[in-house]
Structures are given as structure tokens and as C-alpha cells.
A and B are shown apart, each in its own frame.
Chain A
Amino acid sequence: MTRASRPAGLASEVLVAADAVSLGYGRTIVVRDVSLHIRPGTATGIAGESGSGKSTLAKALVGDLTPMAGRVTVNGRSWSDVHRRDPERRRVQMIFQDPYSALNPRMTARQAISETLTVVCGVPRAEAGQRAGELLTRAGLSGAAIDARPHRLSGGQRQRVVIARAIACEPDLLIADEPTSSLDVSIQAQILDLLVDLREERGLALVLVSHDLAVLRHMTDTCLIMRDGNVVERGPTERVLSQPQHEYTRTLVAAHQGEETSVGSHHGAEEDT
């Protein structure tokens, strides 16, 4: 039993919801009419290839992007009504794909976390340094690394700092956008294990965006498959990946397993995206 879940009593509560949301930049529409509910303690996956809109959807879920149509709500309130310093902000946090870009290059790990603790969680400055150290240790960072700047840390260590920062103020939901794509296989396993542990410990909900179906299968209960801005299939991860119903899902699954696809003839290769 590897996945945490909250007791059924709280299942009716919705943390973040997207209602018929369309997203885009300028005149380009990247996500079309997508609806989605995230409940406490659940782990939801969003799968798709490049250009599918999954990262854009993640941005909207965390409140960083205003929808062109529809709305995204957090605990019933639309994100556009939630201001920068609103405490609601803390409840949804994000983990990024490139851990180096996600850290201020001039701050040590401890400094970065301390700042979050004092500014966002209201921890007194005197205590912040120590609490930061504890959080970082919990995230698996060893002694000397805690006071090191990002350029001295490995990819896995940086990602741990990013995770520590994201959980510092006890969020309810963690949105992870390809958190392990740029990491070595053995480090990826460490980070995924860490996420699983933290979820169990704190009852966190998780939205995991990934192109890697195996990771999704391992980490999530339900998932959505996206293609060109649309959700083509959704359901329990196990079912979607072992008995895919939509043709695109089937191709995706087959691609990951290395079996012969149904369109394996000479010029029948799938349209290169």
C-alpha cells in the first residue's frame, strides 16, 4: 500500500476545481474546455506529450494563469479573487521541472526556506533558521548542503530544497510539474519516494504532471490523458493504463511498453508531433 488517502468523510470537499477552463497566450489556445476536481489527499496525474497543454493546465490550477474562459477555484473561491498575500495562497504550492531555475542562485538553502517561513508562515526570524534546517533535513538534505548555494548542489539535492520550500507552510495540495524529468533514474526514485512519504505524513493531495506513464502509474490514483489541449480520457490510473479506451491513450501506452503498435507499417508511423 503505497498511496495515502484521506478518510472518506472529507471526500466531498474540493480543494481546487477547474470549470470548463480554456487557457491560452495571446491568440493561441493551449487548453480547451477542461474540467477537473482535486479532492484532499488524492493523487491525480496529468499525462500528455509536449504541446498537450498539461503544464499550462498546472499553472492555472496553482493560480498563476488567468483562464480565457471558465474559472479555477480554490476552496470555492476563484483564484482571481485571491490576492498575493491571501493565506489561501499557501494551501496550493508547486514543484518545478528544472530545480536550478527554481532556486535563487544567490541564496543558500537555509536562507531560502527561512525567508518563506518568516514571510509566509509568520515564523519569528529567530526561529526560522533552525526550523528551515529541520525541514531541509526532513527533505533528505545532509548537513553541509543545507548552507550551500544551488550551484554547489546536485540536481537531486536542489529538488529537495524546492520540495522543502513547497511544504514549509503546510499546504494541502502540491502540484508537481515534471519534477523528476531532468534527474537521473536513481535520483528520480529518491524524489518520488520522498513525495510518497510526505504525502503519507501530511495527508497532502498531489497533482503530478508527467510524460512518463510509468511514474504516473506508480504515483497516482486517477489520471487524465491530454492531447492538443483536450482531455481525451480520464479515470483510475490503473484502468486507464492497462485498459485504455481512447485510441490516443492506446498509442501512448504502447509507446511506453515498446510493443508493436497497430500502425507499424512502413509509412504508417504516427504523425510526428
Chain B
Amino acid sequence: MRPVPTDSFSPKNRRSRPARTFARKLLPFSGIAVLVVLWDLALSVGGGPKLLPRPLAVIRAIGELGERGFLVKHVVASLFRVTWGYVAAVLVGVPLGIVLGWYRRGGMALAPLLEILRPISPLAWIPLAILWFGVGDVSAVFIIFLASLFPLTLTAMHAVRGVELVHVNAGLNFGLRAPELLRRVIYPAILPQLLVGLRLSLGIAWLVVVAAEMIAVSSGLGFLIIDARNAGNRYDLVVAGMVLIGVIGIALDAMMRSLERSKALAWGYTPAADADQPRVERRDTARASALP
């Protein structure tokens, strides 16, 4: 009689597992693929007036941008503005939010002002930005700065207010006072929430840069879109710009998410902690039974 193979070594499982993971990796792209096919089908069947360029035309347009060096130029221009505006907002907003969260009175005095400014679309600031800084990079950077500043400051402030009292008390008990307490207890305690806030506000910054570039400057992906339309109704270039914006946006988001997954921060996100649970439970029972 032949030995019965155990589950994990059965040839059937060995073949199906990579196939399954492959299928799972393809799944996120299936929606995009279906959309592209439907998009192309609708345009070739519908006939009528062209309301959209065909997918292939968009791909060719991206290729054209690449060949003429515009791709790198516009992407770099947009990323440059986002980086400066966003970094400035982080440097101002995070410390400001921490201080406002910690010193209740400061928070009470300034929070209403921030809450009023926050719902104003950053785009509403464009006329003032142009008045103050002229047409150019500074205006665009300023708009992005404002767009990220309010959500960042408020996230940091609310996160500080939510820090567990036991952790603050433990810090106080070990002799820490304001600056050290903020650095060694408050800051690490809010980091998981802060990273979520950083990711969301980077998303906002990326949304806003496109709009700012349509009005205030003459480079970047936003400018590409508006210029392609104005200069000759090149809607293939317009959609190419949109696709690029989407792809870069998702890449920025993935970058921020990878920060959130660091081990030291796993405590802030419960799903990430699950993977370790069974292994450690087992180790602990071994430990407990070894005790006299």
C-alpha cells in the first residue's frame, strides 16, 4: 500500500497554490481590463461623435509624451510642487497640531479658526495666491501647502487629545515633563494616526496640484491637460494626463501605506497584529507551564 501523502505535500495542492496566488494578484487588474474593453467596444460600435479617444490612442499619446520628453518634464514639475507644499505643511502642521492638542487652551482658541478654514476648498485661494505670489510655482506650492495644512494640523491635534491617560501618567511618573513627554510619549503614541493623516493629506495635495497647475503655472500634469485641450483639442493627451495622475497617485498612496506597515507601528492597526497572534500564544503557554 502506498503511503498517503499529507495535505501540504500533496501534488494537487502544490500545483494549485501558485495558481491561486497568481489569480489573486490578477484580480485587482480585472476591473481595469473590463473597463478598457468596454470603453473600446462602446467607441467602435457606437460610431457617433467621438466623446472619448480610444484606449490605444491614449497609450500612443503617453508614448508620444515620453518620446518628446514631456512626460518626465510634467511629472517632475507636479511632483516638485507637491513635495515642497506638502513638506512645508508637515513641518508646520504636525508640530502645531501636537502643541494645540497638548495645551488645551491654545487648542480651544485656534481650533474653531482651523475648522472654519478647513472646509474652504484650497482652490478658492487661487485668486489670493496669485495676488500675493504672482503666477508661478510659489502660488501653486502655497495652494498645496494650505490644502494639506488644515487636515494635518487637525489630525495631529485630535490624535494628541486621544492619547491614553495611562501612557501620559506613566511618562509623568518617570519624571518626563513637557518637551520630553511630547517627544517620548505623545509623538510615538499618535504616530499611527498621524501616518494615516499624512497619507490622506498627500492624496489631497495630489488632487489639488492638478487644479492649481491649470490656472497658476505653465507646466505639470494639470497644465498638460488644459494645454492639450486649448491647443488643439488633443483629447488623447487629456486622457493620457488623467491616467498618469491616477497612476502616480496610487503609487504615492502605496508608498505611504508601506510606512504604516512597519512593525513598530503595527500596534496602531489591529489587522496587522493578527498574523503574529497564534505563534506567540503558543510560546506563552510553554512559558507559563515551565513556571513552578
**Is B truly associated with A?**
no
Chain B interface residues toward A at CB < 8 A: none
